[in-house]
Structure 1
Amino acid sequence: MTAQTLMYVLTDANANNNKFWEISRDETGRVSTRNGRVGTAGQHRVLGAGDALFHAKIREKERKGYKRVEVLGQPSGPGGVDKAELIGAAEAQIGRGDPVISALVRQLAEINRHQIIAASGGQMSVDLATGIVSTPVGVVTLSNIRRARDLLIRIEPLVRSGDFDSPDFLTPLEEYLMLVPQKVGTRRGWHRDFLAATDALARQGTFLDQLEGSIEIAEDRLRKTRESETGSAEAPRLFDVSMRVSEDPGLRARILAFFQAGRHAKHASSNLRVARIFEVTLGDMDRQYREDGLKVGGVKELWHGTRAHNLLSILRSGLIVPPENGSIHVTGRMFGNGVYFSDQSTKSLNYAAGYWDGKVSEERCFMFLADVAMGRPWHPDRTGASVKPPAGYDSVFARGGQDRVLNNEMIVYRTSQVNLKYLVEFEK
């Protein structure tokens, strides 16, 4: 008999339920369970043995309303798995023996862990050895995350209006928490507080992004475990990146001048200053840019602001165009799902510094300086999540004060039009 573990969750706000139930059977057929409130270790019991008992207990819980949560299997195996650990790989493959770059990698990993803790109110964390972010019941599948995004978008208007007791809010909220289990309050009425904070929706959206980013890492680790068990494993190349601190005074002077030229004193991040400059080459993005972006032409040097907790993911996989049903963000996407840039430095720096979370919250943050192939830009006459440039145009250039925006925004819809050249660190 094959060992098997299944996870179930029941969330019912009116009954103050947010419970998990895990059932397992080992190779001998022994059946055991673990249950409790989501976020706790729960209680373990051995029930007996046999296939009939295993399925009878599942049917019993399903009749009570428990829903199965699809989670990725937990890797276990020989020590060869260590070669696939994300942070160790990042230090070796990005740092390449450079203590400054290795220290930066460790700093970014710690920022990511801290952000997860903050975003989840102390309920979630991240394994710094692997880079894997998980719910209290494990790493959920991509299909769960996609369905959860749809539910989050569905309840957004009710959150905005504060209609927390409506069945139109409660039903999708409970389904959401059964797809992406999270620790909630223990007192009745916790559902009124769960999304009540002004940035709660955006934080949940960010959490879904990070869960999605963890899936590939977790699957790589599981694959590595299986390969190590058969003796066929090789250390994977997770980071195709070269990176070093720039010591070129001419380059620094040029970047400082470009930053100052686009600085706006009214932007909340305008008091931040340039610290270190890192020269960066992302192998796959660089290759795609040479094959596509250079042919598009119209190259502009532009800023791209991103939160520090996203950097390791970008260094691993490059920039991405957000999915159509991507996360909820406070500012929305004024010109559809693309990659956003600006030549106005502090406009982009506001994103990096956390301004859209309600304030400039980061004392140290980062922006990329990139070559962006704008080709033939379209000056938009409208905004909206579905807005994209018409046929014959390669990008959007929304001019500040002219095209429905206050600051210049440049958007491309293929990452092959972008070449990330420098990672610029800022500090107070």
Structure 2
Amino acid sequence: MHTAETRMYILTDTQANNNKFWEVSIDAGGSVSSRNGRVGSAGQSRVLGAGQNLFQAKIREKERKGYRQVEIVAGAGASGLDGAALATAAEDEIARGNPVLAALVRELAGINRHQILAASGGQMSLDLTTGIISTPVGVVTAANVAKARTLIGRFERFVEAQDFDHPGFLETLEEYLMLVPQKVGSRRGWHRDFITGMESLVQQSALLDQLDASIGVATQRIRDAANSPDAAPKGIFDVRMSVSEDPGLRAHVQAFFERGRNRSHASHRLGMARIFEVSLGSMDRDYEDDGAKVGGVMELWHGTRAHNLMSILKSGLIIPKSNGSIHVTGRMFGDGLYFSDQSTKSLNYAYGYWDGGAKDSRCYMFLADVAMGRPWHPDRTGSNVKPPAGHDSVYARGGQDRVMNNEMIVYRTSQARLKYLVEFQQ
């Protein structure tokens, strides 16, 4: 009896105008079949024959032609659950019948989907009820995302020079797309349109962050399905939200925002709209176990683009990995969670000021308790900067520590607890 197995291979060759996939399978009876086509298409399927020897021979044949295997999280595709039930799971679990929250969830879900489609040529799919983002050939593994992340920084010098025909750019692009497959143009020269500027790199960076966050969810989904294959999804969003109607809280948040408003920041004209009280179960528990003991708690702002909010509400804040020297990521002090007491400094990130593209007329910031413990005032910047032994955080003082505005950074997610999601608009 044969062991069923499926492998996915990708060949991206800019000069030959190739961006192809080839999937080969052998079933338990030994029958070998394949499916192939351009990435983003359904492809064509056919039966090749039978036997493990044929299966391996076809693989060697493709590898000699330059095809590279792309690791896929097996079993993380669509479930057999009712689509309508899946489509409403996020809204049900977060809004819990509140029409205002339901409308917010629908809006954020739409923004999230739009961003993923824009960054991936319309070929990444998102299951909003699970947070799983799938490439055109499946959910790629953490190892693929990690390797792809190391390539992002290599693009920058070619982007700055607008030299998209340089062999170094082409080689990096081909390697990148064989790690994180995406749809590209069908005509020759598509490589000049895939990454065109810094905004494209930021989009790809954000996409990798979301792919990274989805992999653990996909793995858990597989385990849950194995244990209870017919069970409806539940407990996907471990979050409680409510619309605040407390005038005292509003006065406090408004005053704190005004104290940190800087009229030199592009976002300073935005005004505060609604306040949502937020409690993220896992993040709150981690904070009680760690951050509350670290001490030195400061109330600080954290700005993020609206398309990240669904992921944060599902999984809490994550510490994304740095991407080479791309300055727009703002990570001057290594990989950590960045906050500020200067409101419009953080609001600039939510507004999209650093991303080089369209700005958001409605955007959001979190107000958080951040356990700074014993902070370190940095004397240098860089992707590898971290507080020395005996310190729990970085507190870069505006005008003193190589920054123009205050920045507070912690390096464990358990040092932060999100309390309020504050909406801003023109």
TM-score (normalizing by structure 1): 0.91
* Alpha-carbon displacement from aligned partner over 1:334-362 (angstroms, at most 9, x marks no partner): 11111111111111011112111115521
1:301 to 299, 302, 306: 299
Aligned partners of 2:14 and 2:296: how far apart in 1? Answer: 54
Confirm or deny: 8 A CA contact 1:268 1:360 kept in the other structure. no
Indicate the SS of the match to 2:328.
Answer: coil
* Alpha-carbon displacement from aligned partner over 1:397-425 (angstroms, at most 9, x marks no partner): 21222221111111112222212111111
Are residue 161 (structure 1) and residue 198 (structure 2) matched? no
- Give the structure 2 partner of residue 208 of structure 1: 208
- Give the structure 1 partner of residue 109 of structure 2: 109
Structure 1: gaps (5+ residues): none
1:357 to 355, 374, 398: 355
CA, structure 1 residues 268+78, in 2 after alignment: closer, same or farther (shift >3 Å)? closer
Aligned partners of 2:358 and 2:182: how far apart in 1? Answer: 27
Instruction: State the shift of 1:204 in Å.
Output: 1.2
Structure 2: gaps (5+ residues): none
Aligned partners of 1:288 and 1:114: how far apart in 2? Answer: 32
CA, structure 1 residues 164+353, in 2 after alignment: closer, same or farther (shift >3 Å)? same
Aligned partners of 2:115 and 2:224: how far apart in 1? Answer: 28
Indicate the SS of the match to 1:275.
Answer: strand
Moved more, 208-217 or 244-253: 208-217
Aligned partners of 1:287 and 1:128: how far apart in 2? Answer: 24
1:170-209 map, 5 Å: 170-209=170-209
Instruction: State the shift of 1:323 in Å.
Output: 3.4
Aligned partners of 1:376 and 1:219: how far apart in 2? Answer: 37
Instruction: State the shift of 1:128 in Å.
Output: 3.6
* Alpha-carbon displacement from aligned partner over 1:157-209 (angstroms, at most 9, x marks no partner): 33333443333332232111111111122232322332222312111111111
Instruction: State the shift of 1:51 in Å.
Output: 2.8
Are residue 63 (structure 1) and residue 60 (structure 2) matched? no
Alignment: residue pair count: 425
Confirm or deny: 8 A CA contact 1:81 1:221 kept in the other structure. no
Q: Percent identity?
A: 68
Moved more, 177-186 or 72-81: 72-81
TM-score (normalizing by structure 2): 0.91
Instruction: State the shift of 1:35 in Å.
Output: 1.4
CA, structure 1 residues 394+269, in 2 after alignment: closer, same or farther (shift >3 Å)? same
* Alpha-carbon displacement from aligned partner over 1:223-270 (angstroms, at most 9, x marks no partner): 2322234x7x68553332221111111111211121122112221212
Aligned partners of 1:214 and 1:294: how far apart in 2? Answer: 28
1:7-406 map, 5 Å: 7-75=8-76, 79=80, 85=86, 88-229=88-229, 236-323=234-321, 330-359=328-357, 361-406=359-404
Confirm or deny: 8 A CA contact 1:84 1:224 kept in the other structure. no
CA RMSD of aligned residues (A): 2.6
Aligned partners of 2:149 and 2:61: how far apart in 1? Answer: 29
Instruction: State the shift of 1:329 in Å.
Output: 5.8
- Give the structure 1 partner of residue 5 of structure 2: 4
Instruction: State the shift of 1:10 in Å.
Output: 0.7
Confirm or deny: 8 A CA contact 1:289 1:419 kept in the other structure. yes
Give the letter aligned to residue 389 of structure 2: A
Aligned partners of 1:169 and 1:369: how far apart in 2? Answer: 41
Indicate the SS of the match to 1:9.
Answer: strand
Give the letter aligned to residue 8 of structure 2: M
